Structure 1
Amino acid sequence: MAARTAFPSAPLHSRRFFPFVSWLRSRLLARWYDRHLQRLDLAEIDNHQLRDLGLTPQDVRRECAKSFWQP
């Protein structure tokens, strides 16, 4: 029976995916932060501008109530 270690070495092919996973994670975090900022901006728009955009205050409240990870 082979000895087990706390940190088994990963095969070489899985190590190549780490930069991709890191890039994907950073893109996801950037998207979430951008969505958060967009919702903050949307909450500050007045009713006149909302009418120009074709939105109602209820639409804005519904959108701003979502969590940052929800599209």
Structure 2
Amino acid sequence: MTARAAPNAVSVSRFRRRPFPFIALCRLRLLARWHDRYLQRLDLAEIDEHLLRDLGLTPEDVRHECAKSFWQA
């Protein structure tokens, strides 16, 4: 008896693997996004209270946002 694949089995070779540079680019973009978010939160923490009122934010809003980790949106 010979082993045969099921008629509806999908061949692994049908799926193209993504090239390595694509994965590296995605990781680089993610790191850049995290770094940008970190810098934005540092800037937000330094804004004066009267400017926060102009933006419609309270000091509590700023504390809550700045307490988040860099990977949290």
Asked if TM exceeds 0.5, the reply is yes
- SS of residue in 2 equivalent to 1:22: helix
Question: 1:24-43 maps to which residues of 2 (within 5 A)?
Answer: 24-43=26-45
Structure 2 unaligned segments of length 5 or more: list them.
1-15
Note the C-alpha offset of 1:17. Answer: 2.1
- SS of residue in 1 equivalent to 2:35: helix
Match of 2:47 among 45, 48, 58: 45
Aligned residues, how many? Answer: 59
Note the C-alpha offset of 1:34. Answer: 0.1
Structure 1 unaligned segments of length 5 or more: list them.
1-12
Note the C-alpha offset of 1:56. Answer: 0.2
Task: Tell which structure's C-alpha radius of gyration is larger.
Answer: 2
Percent identity among equivalent residues? 74
Q: Which runs of 4+ in 1 moved over 2 A?
A: none
RMSD of aligned Cα (Å):
1.4
